[in-house]
Every structure is written in structure tokens, then in C-alpha cells.
């Protein structure tokens, strides 16, 4: 479900035509639908309403201040992975006491900062990190709230680069070693054992891997509660979204409706009965589900060229703006922003201007006959889109706007050439 729709053959972001937005703000342009962000967050709230729970938005998926601020306004917590993300949460009006802090490589400075900010919990990933947190906290005369990230060694059945819960991955503490680690941690002077956490991967489209992981964890979590008085079980993020819409399969109706392979409701339907009896606060850390379908990347066609048999549509967005296709071979629906209905679809590669063969958005996809000057939209780009963008090839990063009904706000201005060289110097 989202609020990007075709009306009279034109693509709209909520109540504004995407072509108008591109005219006003230029391209490439990230466009977010505020209503979609809010509704997706609320779906989590509703799905978990029967439990003592907290929804902590995974900031890495989209860290724009306007997105964070929107969610903070709903009362969201946040899952951060760096002092930089924590800084953003505070700047955007988020509450640091609702933040979990994850990641395998927290520095002493980051730990110090997070303790000063009064975060809810560190999700700890190694013994060495536990010892460092204890010593930083002791130096400040406090105990730091901690949960250990358990690696449950289950297969999330997703892309290799975004699976995290097996012993092939760098994440967490091996399941079999956790109980002993809690014993050891309970004797560390600066540690307050507050919870336990798992996260098995991302873009997971079936409930079974989550269920397997939670079922495996239940006896351990019960034991940790009894022995150490932990108060929460954080079951991570990872619920996948629909990237390929109905339009691609030939129907004219591309509105996604409720036909997701996995929704917070179906996820909760399977997991809440397992979790209810624990008597713990349940934390979830969704990122992609909240913002993925709430954002698109609009781009303009620069050139159409044919080499050999292939038709290439060269657009002004590139892998530096949206790296997911290059990095994960991921699929993003490509829509025409303006009128192209009824025209014959042509097998097309949509590519960017960067000097790498990996700089593509699709290959041999049947698409309308785009011409120079046309505008197209890469759909479902709201998660891990702008946050993974870069200045590769010295390309200033795109502007970001947020639409709410008929109003639009520039929430990040387009970078300038001066932005590109900020902080650099020579003799
Ligand atoms: N919690 C932890 C500890 C995580 O590592 C992640 C994502 C999340 C929550 C949020 O997962 P989500 O609900 O968004 O699936 N760049 C990749 C995705 C990397 C995910 C990293 N961790 C992509 O574009 O597909």
C-alpha cells in the first residue's frame, strides 16, 4: 500500500503530479509520501497492540530528518547504528531514551556519547565490546543498559548480502555461547543486562524464518529473564516489501493493495501468540517496511541509444543515487511519469551516466518507448536509496522532497559543486 498512483495516465505522489515536482525541484529527485510513512508505521503499532511493545524505526533505511521527525511525532523509537544516526534522531526531535544502538564496531567515543544521551539499550555483538562498554560506563559512574545480539543460526532465505543470522555472518553471539556470556556480563561492574536481541536479515518475504528464530530463542529468553531479570526481547527488523508491482505482469492496475507476501498483521499473527507468554517488552526494528514503498526516485531521460541489438535509455540518475540494482541485482519497478499508455513496450536497459557497466537500473525490461526529455520513476526507492547514495564520479547528491496531500517540502536541497569539495584542501 502506498500513495503513488496513476491518475489519467500521470503519476502522482499523493495529490501532486510527479512531473510538477521534477519541474520545480529538478532531477534526479527523491520523493517521499508522508502519509505512506505514517500509515506503515501505524500498521506495526496496530499489529503489536496486544503486547507491551515498541516500534524502533531502523534509521539506516532512511535517515532524512523529515522522515525521522514524522515518525518521532507518532511516538516511534529508533534503531541506530552509529553516533551519526543518534545525532540525526536528536536533531529531528526523536527521543534518545527510545533508541537501541546496534552494530559490530561501536567506538569508545560512540559508546560514551550514547550513554550520555541516555539510550534505551546497546545491542552488543562481542565480548570485547561488552568489556569496553562496561569500562566506559564505569568511568562515568553508571551501568550501561545492554542486550546481547544472539545469532540464532537460522537461514533467512534472502539475498546473501543481507542475511545476518547464520554462523557465516559477522553478526551477534553464537546461540550456544549466550547463557555463559550473560553470566559473565552480570559480573561486569558497568553492565545492566536489560534485554536480548536478534535480527536475522532483511527483505524477508515469508514468516517462517522469523518464526523459526523466535521459537529457537524462547527457552533461552525465558531462562535469561529468570536469571538476569531482563525486561525486553528485541526481534529485529527484516520484513520484506513488494518491489514488483502488478503492472509488470501485464495488468493496468498497479496499485499494490494489500497483496504483500508479508505484512505486520500476518507477521504478528504468527509471532504474537509465541511472544505473549514471555511477559517481556517486545521491540521490533523495521526499516524497509516503513519507508521502502514510501519513496521514489524520479529521473529524466538524457539520451536513447542503440548498440548492436540493445536499446539503452540513459537517465540522469545513476548508481551513486540508487545503488541497489548494481549491488544486489535488485528489482525496482520503472514507471513513466507522463502519458505513455497504449504504446508498444520495447526491451530496454535503463542506465546511468557513470563509467561502470554495473550502473544500470534494469536490463532487457519491456518498457514504454521512452524518449529524450521524458521523465520516469524508479519505484520503492524510499529504503536504502538516499542513505546508500554517494558522490561517486563527483556527482552532487539528489534533492529530497516530502509530499503531504497537496503540499510539498524540500527536505534536502540538491548538493552543489561546493558541497562536493567541502573539507578538502591542498598545499
Ligand atoms: N535491525 C538491524 C540490526 C539491522 O541490521 C537492520 C538492517 C534492520 C533492523 C532493518 O532491517 P529492514 O527492516 O530494513 O529489513 N541495504 C540493504 C539492506 C541492508 C539491511 C541492513 N540491516 C538493501 O538495500 O536491501
pLDDT mean by block of 10 residues, the chain; 427 residues? 90 97 98 98 97 98 98 98 98 98 97 98 96 98 98 80 73 93 97 97 93 97 98 97 65 42 92 98 98 98 93 98 96 91 89 96 96 96 98 98 98 98 96
Measured from CB, residues less than 6 Å from any atom of ligand 1 are 58, 61, 79, 102, 162, 199, 202-203, 236-239, 285-289, 324, 328, 383-384, 388
* Cβ pair 149, 171 in contact under 8 A: yes
Q: Which of 56, 99, 355, 375 is flagged as catalytic? A: 355
Ligand 1 centroid to residue 124 C-alpha, Å: 17
Name the residue with the closest Cα to ligand 1, atom 24.
Answer: 384
* Size (the chain), residues: 427
State the pairing for strand pair 191-197/144-151.
parallel
How much distance in Å is there from the Cα of 158 to the middle of ligand 1?
12
**For position 378, what pLDDT does the model report?**
97
Q: Please provide the DSSP assignment of 318-335 as one string.
A: -TTT--HHHHH-----EE
Counting from 1 in the atom list of ligand 1, the atom nearest the Cα of 323 is 24
Q: What is the location of CATH 3.20.20.10 in the chain?
A: 34-288
pLDDT at 249: 41
Q: With beta carbons less than 8 A apart as the criterion, state whether 376 and 336 touch.
A: yes
Nearest Cα neighbor of 103 from 81, 119, 127, 78 is 81
Q: What is the pLDDT of residue 166?
A: 74
Q: Which residue is closest in CA terms to ligand 1's atom 16?
A: 384
- Orientation of helix 178-186 relative to helix 208-228, angle to 10°: 30
Number of H helices, E strands in the chain: 12, 21
Angle between helices 108-116 and 127-139 (to 10 degrees): 50
**Residue corresponding to grid cell 500509515:** 39
- Known catalytic membership, residue 355: yes
Give the CATH architecture of domain 294-421: Beta Barrel (2.40)
How many whole angstroms separate alpha carbon 342 and alpha carbon 142? 67
* Residue 368, pLDDT score: 94
Residue 252: the pLDDT is 38
Q: Measured in angstroms, how far is the CA atom of residue 159 from the centroid of ligand 1?
A: 12
Ligand 1 atom nearest 149 alpha carbon: 3
Residue 172 near residue 165, CB atoms below 8 Å: yes
What's the pLDDT score for residue 251? Answer: 39
Of 56, 58, 82, 100, the one to substitute when testing ligand 1's pocket (max ligand atoms within 8 A of C-beta) is 58
pLDDT at 118: 98
Ligand 1: centre distance to CA 61 (Å): 7
Mutate to test the pocket of ligand 1, among 47, 199, 202 (most ligand atoms within 8 A of CB): 202
Instruction: Please report, rounded to a whole number, the percentage of residues in the chain having pLDDT higher than 70.
Output: 95
What pLDDT sits at residue 156?
Answer: 79
Nearest CA to ligand 1 atom 8: 237
Tally of CB atoms within 10 A around 49 = 10
Retrieve residue 38's grid coordinates. Answer: 505514517
Q: What is the pLDDT of residue 125?
A: 94
Beta strand 346-351 with 375-378: parallel, antiparallel or unpaired? unpaired
Fold classification of 34-288 is TIM Barrel (3.20.20)
From CA 113, how far away is CA 202, in angstroms rounded? 28
All CATH 2.40.37.10 domain ranges in the chain, comma separated: 294-421
**Closest C-alpha residue for ligand 1 atom 22:** 202
The atom number, within ligand 1, closest to the CA of 102 reads 3
Cβ–Cβ < 8 Å for 197, 171: no
* pLDDT score, position 164: 72
Cell numbers found for residue 209: 524464518
Burial of 135 (0-12, 13-18, 19+ CB in 10 A): middle
Spacing, Cα 202 to ligand 1 middle (Å): 5
Ligand 1 atom 19 nearest Cα: 162
Label residue 318 left, alpha or beta by phi (over 0 means left) and psi (-120 to 50 means alpha): beta
Would you state the pLDDT for residue 342? 73
Structure-block grid coordinates of residue 321 = 543515487
Interval between CA 199 and ligand 1 midpoint (Å) = 9
Amino acid at each position: 500500500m502506498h500513495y503513488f498512483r496513476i491518475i489519467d495516465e500521470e503519476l502522482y505522489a499523493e495529490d501532486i503530479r510527479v512531473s510538477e515536482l521534477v519541474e520545480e525541484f529538478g532531477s534526479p529527485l527523491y520523493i517521499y509520501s508522508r502519509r505512506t510513512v505514517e500509515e506503515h508505521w501505524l500498521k506495526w503499532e496496530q499489529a503489536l497492540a496486544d503486547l507491551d511493545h515498541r516500534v524502533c524505526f531502523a534509521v539506516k533505511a532512511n535517515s532524512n530528518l523529515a522522515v525521522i521527525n514524522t515518525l518521532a511525532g507518532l511516538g516511534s523509537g529508533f534503531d541506530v547504528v552509529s553516533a551519526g544516526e543518534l545525532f540525526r534522531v536528536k536533531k529531528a526531535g526523536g527521543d534518545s531514551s527510545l533508541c537501541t544502538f546496534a552494530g559490530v564496531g561501536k567506538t569508545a567515543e560512540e559508546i560514551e556519547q550514547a550513554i550520555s544521551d541516555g539510550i534505551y539499550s546497546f545491542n552488543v555483538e562481542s565480548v570485547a565490546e561488552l568489556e569496553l562498554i562496561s569500562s566506559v560506563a564505569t568511568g562515568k559512574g553508571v551501568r550501561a543498559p545492554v542486550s546481547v545480539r544472539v545469532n540464532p543460526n537460522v537461514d533467512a532465505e534472502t539475498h546473501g548480502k543481507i542475511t545476518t543470522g547464520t554462523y557465516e555472518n559477522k553478526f551477534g553471539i553464537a546461540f550456544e555461547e549466550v547463557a555463559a556470556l550473560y553470566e559473565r556480563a552480570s559480573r561486569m561492574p558497568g553492565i545492566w543486562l536489560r534485554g536480548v536481541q536478534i535480527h536475522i536479515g532483511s527483505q524477508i518475504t515469508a514468516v517462517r524464518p522469523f518464526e523459526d528464530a523466535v521459537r529457537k530463542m524462547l527457552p533461552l529468553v525465558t531462562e535469561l529473564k529468570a536469571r538476569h531479570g531482563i525486561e525486553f526481547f528485541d526481534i529485529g527488523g527484516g520484513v520484506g516489501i513488494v518491489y514488483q508491482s502488478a503492472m509488470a505482469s501485464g495488468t493496468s492496475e498497479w496499485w499494490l493493495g494489500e497483496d504483500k507476501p508479508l505484512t505486520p498483521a500476518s507477521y504478528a499473527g504468527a509471532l504474537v501468540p509465541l511472544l505473549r507468554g514471555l511477559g517481556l517488552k517486545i521491540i521490533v526494528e523495521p526499516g524497509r517496511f516503513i519507508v521502502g514503498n514510501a519513496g521514489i526516485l524520479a529521473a529524466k531521460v538524457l539520451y536513447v541509444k542503440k548498440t548492436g541489438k540493445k536499446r539503452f535509455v540513459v537517465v540522469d540518475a545513476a548508481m551513486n543515487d540508487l545503488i541497489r540494482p548494481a549491488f544486489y541485482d535488485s528489482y525496482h519497478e520503472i514507471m513513466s511519469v507522463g502519458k505513455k499508455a497504449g504504446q508498444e513496450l520495447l526491451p530496454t536497459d535503463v542506465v546511468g551516466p557513470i563509467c561502470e557497466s554495473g550502473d544500470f537500473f534494469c536490463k532487457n525490461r519491456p518498457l514504454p518507448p521512452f524518449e529524450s526529455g521524458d521523465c520516469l520513476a524508479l519505484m520503492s526507492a524510499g529504503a536504502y536509496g538516499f542513505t546508500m547514495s554517494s558522490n561517486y564520479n563527483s556527482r552532487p547528491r539528489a534533492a529530497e522532497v516530502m509530499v503531504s496531500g497537496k503540499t510539498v517540502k524540500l527536505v534536502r536541497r540538491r548538493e552543489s559543486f561546493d558541497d562536493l569539495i567541502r573539507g578538502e584542501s591542498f598545499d
